[in-house]
Structure 1
Amino acid sequence: MRLGELDREIVRLALPALGALAVEPLVSMTDTAFVGRLGAEPLAALGITTALLSLFFVVFNFLSYATTPRVARSLGADGRGAAMEQAGHALWLALLLGLLATAVLELLAPWLVRLMGAGGAVQPLALGYLRLRALAGLAILWLMAAHGIYRGLQDTRTPFWVTFWVNAANVVLDYLFIFPLGMGLLGAALASVLAQSAGAVWFYLNLKRLGAVRPWPGAAPLRPFLKVGGEMLVRTLSLVGAITLAAAVAARVGTVAVAAHQVAWQVWLFIAMSVDALAIAAQALVARYRGEDPARVRAVADRLLAWGLAVGVLIAALLALGRPWIPRVFTDDAEVLAAVGGVWVLLWAPQPLNALVFVWDGIFMAAERFRFLAAAMLLAAGAGAVEMLLVVPMGWGLAGVWWGMILINAVRALTLAWGYWRARMV
Structure 2
Amino acid sequence: MPRIHPGWDSWGNAIWTFNSPSRPVRFSLTSPYDRDILDLAVPALAGLAAGPLVSLVDTAFVGQLGRVPLGALGVNTSIFSMTFVIFNFLAYGTTPRVGRAVGNDDRAEAGRVVVRALTLAVGAGIVALIVLQVLARPLLLLMGAGEELMAPALAYLRIRALAGPAVLLITASHGAFRGYQDTRTPMVVTLGFNVVNGGLDPLLIFVLDWGLAGAAAATAIGQWVGAIVFLLLLLKTRRDELGIALQWPDPRTLVPFLKVGRDLFLRTASLVGTMTLATAMAARVGVTAVAAHQVAAQLWMFLAVLVDAMAVAAQALVSKHLGADGPETARRVSNRLLQWGLAVGVALGLAFWALEPLLPGFFTDDPETLEALRSVYLFVVVLQPLNGLVFVWDGIFMGAEAFSYLAKAMIGTAAVSAAVLVLAPTMGWGLTGVWWGITILMAGRLLTLATPYVRETLFDSAPA
TM-score (normalised: structure 1): 0.83
Secondary structure in structure 2 of the residue aligned to 1:25 = helix
1:167 aligns with: 194
Corresponding residue of 1:408: 441
Q: Partner letter of residue 181 of structure 2?
A: Q
Question: Is 1:273 aligned to residue 305 of structure 2?
Answer: yes
Alignment partner, residue 233 of structure 1: 265
Which residue does the alignment assign to 2:98?
A: 71
Aligned to 2:456: 422
Q: What is the identity, as a one-letter code, of the residue corresponding to 1:312?
A: G
Q: Percent identity?
A: 51
Match of 2:23 in 1: none
Could you tell me how far apart the structure 1 residues matched to 2:113 and 2:96 are?
A: 10
Is 2:338 aligned against 1:311?
A: no
Identify the range of structure 1 (209-218 vs 328-337) with the bigger mean alpha-carbon deviation.
328-337
Verify the 8 A CA contact 2:52 2:301 in the aligned structure 1.
Answer: no
**Which residue matches 1:301?**
334
State the number of aligned residues. 425
Contact 1:44 / 1:122 at 8 angstroms: preserved in 2?
A: no
CA deviations on 1:313-336 (whole Å, 9 max, x unpaired) are: 223333444444444444567776
Look up the equivalent residue of 1:377 and give its one-letter code.
M
TM-score of the pair, normalised by structure 2: 0.77
Task: Find 2:166's aligned residue among 139, 164, 170.
Answer: 139
Is the deviation greater in 260-269 or in 162-171?
A: 260-269
Offset, 1:165: 1.1
Q: Post-superposition shift, 1:65?
A: 1.1
Write 1 or 2 for the structure with the bigger share of helix. 1
Closer, same or farther: CA 365–328 of 1 in aligned 2, 3 Å: same
Please give the secondary structure, in 1, of the residue aligned with 2:197: helix
Flag the 1:366–1:172 CA change in 2: closer, same or farther, 3 A: same
1:80-95 alignment, distance < 5 Å: 80-95=107-122
Residue deviations 1:343-391 (CA, integer Å, cap 9, x gap)? 5555434432331111101100111111211221122222223444555
Tell me the distance in 1 between the aligned counterparts of 2:445 and 2:269: 15
Residues 321-400 of structure 1 aligned to structure 2 (within 5 Å) = 321-330=354-363, 345-389=378-422, 399-400=432-433
- 8 Å CA contact 2:452–2:458 kept in 1: the answer is no
Maintained 8 Å contact 1:28/1:50: no
For residues 74 and 292 of structure 2, the distance between their equivalents in structure 1, rounded to whole angstroms, comes to 20
CA contact (8 A) 2:59 2:363 kept: no
Q: Which letter does structure 2 place at the counterpart of 1:241?
A: G
Task: Give the structure 1 partner of residue 229 of structure 2.
Answer: 202
**Residues in 2 aligned to 1:408 and 1:11: alpha-carbon distance in whole angstroms:** 29
3-state SS of 1:368 partner: coil
Distance 1:184 1:8, change over 3 A: same
Measured in 1, the distance between the counterparts of 2:293 and 2:200 equals 34
In structure 1, the residue matched to 2:246 is 214
Quote how far apart the aligned CAs of 1:75 are. 0.6
Specify every segment of 5 or more residues in structure 2 that has no aligned partner in the other structure, as ranges.
1-9, 12-29
Give how far 1:234 is off.
2.1
Cα distance change of structure 1 residues 246 and 91 upon mapping to structure 2, 3 Å threshold: closer
CA distance in 1, matches of 2:65, 2:290: 27
Deviation at 1:304, TM superposition (A): 0.4
| SS class of match (1:78) | coil
Letter in 2 for 1:149: A
**Cα distance in 1 between the residues matched to 2:426 and 2:71:** 33
Q: Is the 8 A contact 1:118 1:126 kept in 2?
A: no
Equivalent pair of 1:42/1:122 in contact (CA under 8 Å): no
Rounded to whole Å, the distance in 1 between the matches of 2:155 and 2:425 is 39
User: Contact between 2:52 and 2:302, CA under 8 Å: does it hold in 1?
Assistant: no
Cα displacement (A) at 1:292: 1.2
Cα distance in 1, alignment partners of residues 67 and 435 from structure 2: 32
Post-superposition Cα deviations, 1:106-164, rounded to whole Å, max 9, x if no partner, equal: 555576577775869965x7666655544422222111100110111111111111111
Q: Give the Cα–Cα distance (whole angstroms) in 2 for the partners of residues 187 and 347 of structure 1.
A: 29
Q: 1:365 to 1:195 in 2, by over 3 A?
A: same
* 2-structure distance, mates of 1:393, 1:107: 31
Structure 1's 158 and 172: CA in aligned 2 closer, same or farther, altered over 3 A? same
Q: Distance between the aligned counterparts of 2:371 and 2:249, measured in 1?
A: 59
Structure 1 residues 399 and 132: alpha-carbon distance in aligned structure 2, compared to 1, 3 A threshold: closer
Q: Report Cα offsets for 1:225-248 as digits up to 9, x if no partner.
A: 222222222222322333344445
Bigger Cα displacement from structure 2, 367-376 vs 315-324: 315-324
Query: Residues 271-317 of structure 1, C-alpha deviation per residue, up to 9 Å, x if partnerless?
Result: 21111111111111111111111130110111101111222222333
Q: CA RMSD in A?
A: 3.8
Asked if residue 286 in structure 1 is aligned to residue 318 in structure 2, the reply is yes
- Is the aligned partner of 1:56 residue 2:90? no
Show CA shifts across 1:56-99 (max 9, x none).
22232211111111111111113333212211211121122233
1:153 alignment counterpart: 180
Secondary structure of the corresponding residue to residue 214 of structure 1: coil
Change (3 A) 1:169 1:265: closer
Quick check: 1:105–1:131 contact (8 Å CA) kept in 2? yes
